Amino acid sequence: MEDEILMKIARELVESIHKSVTIDWAMKENVQAEMRVKIKKILRKYGYPPDKQEKATLTVIEQAKLLCKDLANNH
């Protein structure tokens, strides 16, 4: 995919995750399920290859967990 499209995907994913994150979101499966749905919608919107969407979704969730963990440790 083109870099410009990947940048748009990344921006939209970050915005969507910021809106979805709650204090204990990493522990709640229902919140994570909603996030996975939003992530997949964004990926489809930009024509991300369907066979790579599941791996990309899991990667985004894991990165969000790490980011939130880092933020919590720095406060």
For residue range 34-56, what is the model confidence (pLDDT) as tens digits?
A: 888 999 999 999 999 999 999 99
Domain that holds residue 16: 3-73
In the predicted model, what is the mean pLDDT of the chain? Answer: 82
Residue from 67, 11, 57 nearest 33 by CA: 57
Confidence class for position 68, pLDDT limits 50, 70, 90:
confident
The structural domain count of the chain equals 1
pLDDT of res. 48: 93
Burial (CB count <10 Å: 0-12, 13-18, 19+), residue 26: middle
Q: Which of the two residues, 13 and 23, has the higher pLDDT score?
A: 13
